[in-house]
Amino acid sequence: MAFILICRGGLTQVRKMDKGIYRAILDRKDGQMIVFNFEVLDSAGKKIIYIHNAAERLLVDEISYSKDSVFIHLPFFESEFRLAYAGGNEWKGNWLKRLEKNYQVMPIRIFYNEQERFNGSNKASEQVNGRWAIKFLKPNEEAEEMVGEFVQIGSKVTGTVLTTTGDDRYLDGIVDGDSLRLSTFDGGHALLFTACIKEDSLTGGQYFSGPRGHISWIGSRNNGASLPDDFSITKMRSGQNRLHFSFTDADGHKVSITDPRYKNKVVLVQIMGSWCPNCMDETRFLSSLFKEYRNKGVEIIGVAYERSTDFERSRKSLRSFQQRFDVQYPLLITGVSVNDSLRAKKTLPELADIVGFPTTIFVNKKGEVEKIHTGFNGPGSGANYAEQQKEFYDIVNQLLSE
Task: For the chain, give every domain's residue range.
Answer: 3-112, 130-221, 246-401
Which pLDDT band, with edges at 50, 70 and 90, does 13 fall under? low
For residue 85, what are the contacts with CB-CB under 8 A and spacing of at least 6?
4, 5, 6, 15, 68, 91
Question: Average pLDDT over the chain, rounded to whole?
Answer: 93
Q: At what angle do helices 383-401 and 277-293 cross, to 10 degrees?
A: 40
Is residue 109 predicted with pLDDT exceeding 70? yes
**CA atoms in the 13 A half-sphere facing the CB of 7:** 5
Q: Per DSSP, what are the bridge partners of residue 331?
A: 302
Closest CA relative to residue 175, chosen from 227, 123, 135, 247: 123
pLDDT band for position 8 (cuts 50, 70, 90):
very low
Q: How many residues does the chain have?
A: 402
Proportion of the chain above pLDDT 70, given as a percent: 96
CB atoms within 10 A of CB 383: 9
The whole-number average pLDDT for the span 5-32 is 74
Query: Of residues 211 and 4, which shows the higher confidence score?
Result: 211
Peptide bond into 358 cis (omega under 30): yes
Fold of 246-401: Glutaredoxin (3.40.30)
- Residue 182's pLDDT is 98
- Give yes or no for residue 225 having a pLDDT over 80: yes
**Closest by CA position to 145, among listed 160, 156, 135:** 135
pLDDT band at 2 (very low <50, low <70, confident <90, very high): very low
CA-nearest of 82, 99, 352, 342 to 210 is: 99
Burial (CB count within 10 angstroms: exposed 0-12, middle 13-18, buried 19+), residue 191: buried
Contact 188, 279 (CB under 8 A): no
- The CATH superfamily of 130-221 is Quinohemoprotein amine dehydrogenase alpha subunit, domain 2 (2.40.128.120)
Q: Which fold has domain 3-112?
A: Porin (2.40.160)
Q: What is the pLDDT of residue 11?
A: 40
Q: Is residue 197 a contact partner of residue 179, using CB atoms and an 8 Å limit? A: yes
